[in-house]
Amino acid sequence: MVKKIRNDAIFKKPLSPKSATTKKVSKILNKKNKIELKNFYIFSLTSLILIFSFFSLPSITGYLVENFFKNQIVINVSKKNFEIALNKKNSIIEEKSTNLEDVFNDIDVFTSDQQITNTSRLSASTIEQLFKDTNYNLKTVKKTKLVNIGNNLDHLPKEMKNIENVKKRKNLFIQIVLPLIIEENMKIRLDRKKLFVILNKNSNSKSDIEWLKKKFKQYGVAKNDLSTLKIRMDEIPVSLAIAQAAKETGWGTSRFAQKGNALFGQWTWSGNGIKPSAADIDSTHKVASFKVLKASVKAYQRNINTHSSYEDFRLARAKLRDLGEPLDSMILSDYLDKYAETGNEYVKVLQKIIQQNNLKDFDDAKLLPSSIALESLI
């Protein structure tokens, strides 16, 4: 008798279509759950890494700055110090200057003998013709507010005293000194613009730091104080500079201006200068002489911007800047009483010169740009 073997696979009840579908769906769901669980683990791990990085980044940054980039960072805390300086809330208004001799190292100061052999002096008639040929006259400057830098001269003409017409002599003097003053102001304006760009950075490059070191020395700023540098690195109104040059030189006729290109009567105790004829026998000071007129203007602006006698002038100027007001020569001249021994009388003379000769018309004059690239800077 043959024993029949039951084949369950054969006799197994076939699955209904519904049961097959359910099993398939279940398998898909299980696979999906595994994927979602894997994604959850990845997301959780990424989140933990991000959270750890967020809280540890300041410590890591501090460590790197302290150990590797310490000498490449300039911390800008000048705004607070700047406000303190303006309001005089602390005893430290301006840091005291460093050695004043260092401040003027980049300005060429020469004896009158040296300057004669190095550059040429044009006659008054030649200068007048030059200005005529280039259409350079004060009426046009007042209208266009532009001055051609090509009209810079190294010396005043010897014939200044011989020009009998006072108005003509004054106009010629202004025409000569105007581009020199505007050019120096422009240099300061560009430096000041660069300074504020640097101050607005979170950190500064090596070239920025080298530039700042140079300017700290140039403006006699001790302890690398940025607030003091901002106060000192600024322009002097054109009208005020012209008035002082006119007063100190007698509109270009003085011996100091003719022989030493000294436009502002600055004293020196070194060997380079011209002894005043009315000076006491025991006095050792001289009026500083310069190789060219431009050096005299540079030294004048450096003097006003660094010497302790003009600290109030600089703070008043900074206050005008802070208020968004123009640099008014009539206001700022009040703070130059220490420039001459006559004090307040000297201030009154300056203000009279400014008003009578309408010098404020030149305050917003600029150098005629020599190229499109320079136009945006000027």
CA–CA distance from 311 to each of 20, 73, 86, 317 (Å)? 96, 29, 11, 10
Q: What is the pLDDT of residue 114?
A: 44
Q: Which residues of the chain carry a pLDDT beneath 70? A: 1-40, 52-118, 271, 278-283, 369-378
pLDDT digits (tens, 9 = 90+) for 303-335: 999 999 999 999 999 999 999 999 999 999 999
CA–CA distance from 174 to each of 313, 356, 369 (Å)? 24, 14, 20
Three-state DSSP class for 190? helix
Q: What is the pLDDT of residue 111?
A: 44
> What interhelical angle do 238-249 and 344-356 show, nearest 10?
110
Other Cβ atoms within 10 Å of 25 Cβ, number: 10
Contact 203, 72 (CB under 8 A): yes
The position carrying tokens 């206001």 is 331
Contact 326, 320 (CB under 8 A): yes
pLDDT digits (tens, 9 = 90+) for 70-112: 444 333 444 444 445 445 433 445 555 555 555 666 665 544 4
Q: What is the pLDDT of residue 6?
A: 43
- Spatial separation of the C-alpha atoms in residues 236 and 365, rounded to whole Å: 13
Contact 312, 323 (CB under 8 A): no
Residue 37: what residue type? L
Contact 160, 115 (CB under 8 A): no
pLDDT digits (tens, 9 = 90+) for 272-290: 788 877 666 666 778 999 9
- Spatial separation of the C-alpha atoms in residues 282 and 286, rounded to whole Å: 12
Largest CA distance in the chain: 158
Q: What is the pLDDT of residue 263?
A: 96
Query: Which pair of tokens denotes residue 171?
Result: 């106009």
Q: What is the pLDDT of residue 75?
A: 38
Contact 333, 240 (CB under 8 A): yes
- Spatial separation of the C-alpha atoms in residues 229 and 192, rounded to whole Å: 9
Query: Which pair of tokens denotes residue 317?
Result: 């100027």
